[in-house]
Amino acid sequence: MLFNSQEFVFLFLATFILYYLPFFSRFQVHLLIVSSLIFYAYSEPILLILLLSSIGFNTIVSFAQRNLSRDKAKVWVTLGVIANLSVILFFKYSGMLANSFGFAGSEIGHFLVMLPLPLGISFFTFEGISLLVDVYKEPSENRHAVINGNFFTHLSNTLLFVSFFPHLIAGPILKASEFYPQIGGKEWRGINWEKAYCQLIVGYFLKVVIADNLKDNTFWIAYPYFIKLSSATLLTMLGGYSMQIFADFAGYSLIALGLATLLGYELKGNFNFPYIATSFSEFWRRWHISLSSFLREYLYFPLGGNRKGKVRTYFNLFITMFLGGLWHGAAWSYAIWGVAHGLFLAIERLANDYFPNRKQIVLLNWFVVFAGVSLAWLLFKLPEFSHAIIYVYHLFANWRLVPDYEQIKSISAILVYSFPVVAYHLQHMIESKQHVRVPKSVKHLLYAAMLLLIVINAGSKSEFIYFQF
Amino acid sequence: MVKTNLLLFLGLFFSYELFLRVGLVNKDWLMSGQSIWSTNIIRAQSLLYDEKPAHYNCIIGSSIVGTLDKEQLPKPLTLLSLSGLSVYDGLFVLNKRDQLPDTLFVETNVLERSINANFCDKIGRSTLEVGVKGRLLSLRETSAPLNLLAQVTTSTLTYLKTKYFKDAQPSQGNEGLKEFEINNRSQTQVKTSAHIVDDFLDDLNKLKKQTVVVLFDMPVDCRLSQSDAYYEELYDKARQMGFLVVPRVNCAKYRTSDGIHLDHESSKLYTRYFVSQMQGL
């Protein structure tokens, strides 16, 4: 179900009204679980089997750790993490491996290639891992922060944690230690209306006005159609796609946050104005924060982080980004995308060691980061690596060509629809660096204008890009 | 904050409506879309709200009919060519109109394409929704403020281009892509099944009492054309149900730019034939 569909609006309104009725106050958690399962299984009920199995398994393993010694708990958590990774490996990557290692033609290979990718699998298995590791990491006397009450209470809490519909399909990836303590009775008067309103308006604006309109104009980043386009068009489309992917994903995350706020839950922000980053490491602290902090906490640090010498640090960065890339999709292009970011981070670290003053060239640093990130996004749009290379080649080779009328139309639309994203980042930069606050009246006008554009300027409805992951 | 903001939104909405009604916006900007999707919606809404002749004829189809030479087509005639969409979307739009055309020409090239749910949502599924969009200019695709802004930018950039880049090399044509497109399309082409044909003719049958329905097939590259047997069956069934048919032409005599869209010369040639057939009906 899409956040921008009529079915979702109906489901959410029904849930929201029932949720705050006094009669339902005892059943709020159950109501949210039922709504979340309807939301998830609306078009394919069979998907529930895997989701519920995963939740059941993680509930049992995490509950079993409750009274175990550290050593025994370690065995349980290790087995649990391996099981979660096996599920994602089987459903998401076995087809890719079958294709890559040449056994796709066999009966088993064909079966693996044809396996459907369950919606949101990357998100709910990571949350399962987060639950197991967070319970393990807590000293045994503190584990009740996550495992509260008897098995059935823990089961319903875990059901809500994993399936909570605002974040289920495309994140943000929740941490068990942050979400479980919030589970409980919520009251109507406790709703932070202003916060929810702002999150929803900006979220829907980014998705339905910006991303959905940009999508119709970056459409031509498709092989071989782009080869006849001028460099100006190719460059604008590349920048436009950067804006589109941000607006799409940040929009989704903000809608998720807004919906959760209305239901009395606080989810951590997933984006913090990533395109003002002047270094790649800063970019990753601002982009898809829940994934990057997950990878940092559950992969990079356990590998040794930057505590085991320079060579090992570069290796750790590389492997973390490689796996982070593969997390996005079962195709080598995503792995290459991850490796590219791993390289960017490693080169940046090296450059910082040799040229400590380079941080002062802010504009150049910003440009390098934005250009690198945008070029890497090409692999999301053109999963065939060779096509991405051909695109970059024509970006430079077609400089003599002048855009025709149709291309000028696309360029204009991309410029106009990208502008709000640029302004959104600039406003934040000015506010945070110059300590200037946008007057309240101007903010009111901006929110009203965004609402107006949601009503009269929405693009063609589309799925969120991150749904495929 | 929320209440104030909602009031401010209403203020902005009605101010914008007033702005459009006063006619401060260049009418040319209101007629073209910034993308294929936007252009489709504008064409459909224009048919629904702007053109209200008592008697008119209409051609519906995909982008393939968009290549017909408009200059040659007799008036009053509305050409509803929807890129990437199908005749079913065109029929959806016509069914939302109070009055059907006297004669309805229906392209039969891509019957296997199904109706586009997003398109129908945007046009409006209920009579109320279509009616409200008819009354409020600001809810129409042509009035989307950021699209208008993009139109202004397009005009400015086009002006700058003609002023400063007169002698520059234009972008390459489609010639290099033609073979790729034909191969690609022939690999992904779905043969239209008998039940699709039956459903399509049933849909048209509902209109038979109110309009004269004429089926026609635009020539495409011969490698992409469906079999003669398929067309014989389709047109036989159509004739038996009382529909008129424009006889097919020999695809070998026509050239396309990408396998399915006629090039300029062939478009003129086919339109000439099509108009002669229209007059003979």
Q: Nearest Cα to A5, choosing from A450, A463, A468, A465?
A: A463
C-alpha–C-alpha distance, residues B262 and B65, integer Å: 9
- Chain A, nearest residue to B145 by Cα: A457
Cis bond leading into A116, ω under 30°? no
Residue appearing with tokens 């129409």: B140
Reported ipTM: 0.84
Q: β-pairing, B169-170 with B244-245?
A: unpaired
Q: Number of helices (H) and strands (E), helices first, in chain B?
A: 10, 6
- Is B34 in contact with A459 (Cβ distance < 8 A)? no
Question: With 90 as the cut, is the pLDDT of residue B171 above it?
Answer: no
Interchain proximity B157–A459, CB inside 8 Å? no
Q: Which chain A residues are Cβ-neighbours of B12 within 8 angstroms?
A: 448-449, 452
* pLDDT score of B30 more than 70: no
**Candidates B6, B83, B136, B171, partner chain A, best to mutate (most A CBs within 10 A):** B171
Quote the CA–CA distance of A193 and A280 in Å, as a whole number.
Answer: 35
pLDDT at residue B123 is higher than 80: yes
Peptide bond into A224 cis (omega under 30): yes
pLDDT mean values, one per 10 residues, chain A (469 residues): 82 93 88 92 85 92 82 87 88 79 74 76 88 80 68 89 85 83 88 94 95 92 87 95 95 94 92 94 93 88 83 86 85 89 90 79 91 94 90 91 90 96 91 81 92 92 69
Helix-, strand-, coil-residue percentages of chain B, each rounded to 5 = 55, 10, 35
Q: Residue A93's pLDDT is what? A: 81
Asked if residues A258 and A391 have their Cβ atoms less than 8 Å apart, the reply is no
**A119 and A467 in contact (C-beta within 8 Å)?**
yes
| Cβ atoms A58, A158 nearer than 8 A | yes
Chain A contact present for B121, CB below 8 A: yes
Contact A241, A381 (CB under 8 A): yes
Cα–Cα nearest to B13, from B136, B146, B141: B136
Query: For B233-253, what is the mean pLDDT?
Result: 89
CA angle A331, A336, A339 (to 5 degrees): 135
Q: Tell me, what's the pLDDT at A255? A: 94
Q: Do A452 and B13 touch (CB under 8 A)?
A: yes
What pLDDT score was predicted for residue A400? Answer: 85
Report CB contact under 8 Å: B161, A219.
no
What residues in A contact B139, CB-CB < 8 Å? 455-456
Tens digit of each residue's pLDDT (9 = 90 or more) over B66-93: 999 988 988 888 889 999 898 999 999 9
Q: Is the distance from CB of A143 to CB of A63 less than 8 angstroms?
A: no
Confidence of residue B233 (pLDDT cuts 50, 70, 90): confident
| Mean pLDDT across B128-149 | 88
Structure tokens at A454: 């949601």
Query: What is the pLDDT, as a whole number, of residue A25?
Result: 83
Which of A7, A400, A402 to substitute to test the interface with B, most B CBs within 10 Å? A402
Q: Is the dihedral of CA B218, B223, B224, B230 positive or negative?
A: positive
From CA A295, how far away is CA B218, in angstroms rounded? 55
User: With pLDDT > 90 as the criterion, what percentage of chain B qualifies?
Assistant: 25
3-class DSSP assignment, residue B171: coil
Q: Is any Cβ of chain A less than 8 angstroms from the Cβ of B161?
A: yes
Calculate helix-pair angle for B228-240, B194-205, nearest 10 degrees. Answer: 30
The two tokens of residue A364 are 């150049």
Q: What single string gives the DSSP state of each residue in A175-198? A: PHHHHGGG-S---GGG--HHHHHH
Cis omega (within 30 of 0) on the bond before A172?
yes
Q: How far is B117 from chain A (nearest CA, A)?
A: 10
Best mutation target, B8, B30, B261, to test chain A (most A CBs within 10 A): B8
Which chain B positions have a beta carbon within 8 Å of A229's beta carbon?
A: 171
Query: Taking a C-beta distance cutoff of 8 angstroms, is the pair A122, A88 a contact?
Result: yes
Q: Where are the alpha helices (DSSP H) in A329-384?
A: 332-354, 362-381
| B143–A contact, CB cutoff 8 A | yes
- What count of other Cβ atoms lies within 10 Å of the Cβ of residue B164? 10
Question: Rounded to 5 degrees, what angle do the CA atoms A247, A252, A253 make?
Answer: 105
| Residue B102: strand, helix, or coil | coil
- Residue that has been written with the tokens 């586009």 in this structure: B116
Q: Which residue of A has its CA nearest to B36?
A: A216
Angle (CA) A73 A79 A82, round 5°: 140
To the query of whether residue A328 is one of the catalytic residues in this protein, the response is yes
User: What does the DSSP assignment read for A372-391?
Assistant: HHHHHHHHHH--SHHHHHHH
CA distance B68 to B261: 10
Would you list the DSSP string of B103-144? EEEEE-TTTTSPP-HHHHHHH-SSHHHHHHHHH-GGGSGGG-
Q: Compute φ and ψ for B130, nearest 5 degrees.
A: -65, -40
pLDDT value, residue B51: 67
**Cross-strand pairs, B81:** B61
Strand partners, B216: B107
**Cβ–Cβ gap A412/B154 under 8 Å:** yes
Nearest residue, CB atoms, B139 vs list A407, A413, A456:
A456
A285-302 as b/e: b if 16+ CB within 10 A: ebbbbbbbbbbeebbbee
B159 shares contact with chain A (CB less than 8 Å): no
Contacts of B161 in chain A (CB under 8 A): 402-403, 408
- Structure tokens given for A153: 């209470």
Which chain B residues are within 8 Å of A453, Cβ to Cβ? Answer: 145-146
Determine, for residues B35 and A412 on separate chains, whether the beta-carbon distance falls below 8 Å: no
Q: What is the mean pLDDT of chain B?
A: 85
Q: List the B212-216 sheet strands across, edge first.
A: B77-82, B57-62, B103-107, B212-216, B244-245
Q: Give B52-56 contacts, CB < 8 A, sequence gap 24+.
A: B54/B99, B55/B102, B56/B101, B56/B102
What's the CA gap between B86 and B109, in Å, rounded?
9
Q: How far apart are the first and last CA of chain A?
A: 15
Please tell me the distance from the alpha carbon of residue B49 to that of residue B129, in angstroms, as a whole number: 13
Residue count of chain A, please give it. Answer: 469
Between B5, B150, B171, which is nearest A416 by CB? B150
Cβ burial of B28 (10 Å; 0-12, 13-18, 19+) is exposed
CB contact under 8 A, A217 and B146: no
Residue from A279, A219, A210 nearest A250 by CA: A210
Give the DSSP H or E segment for B92. helix B87-96
At B104, list the tokens.
């309805």
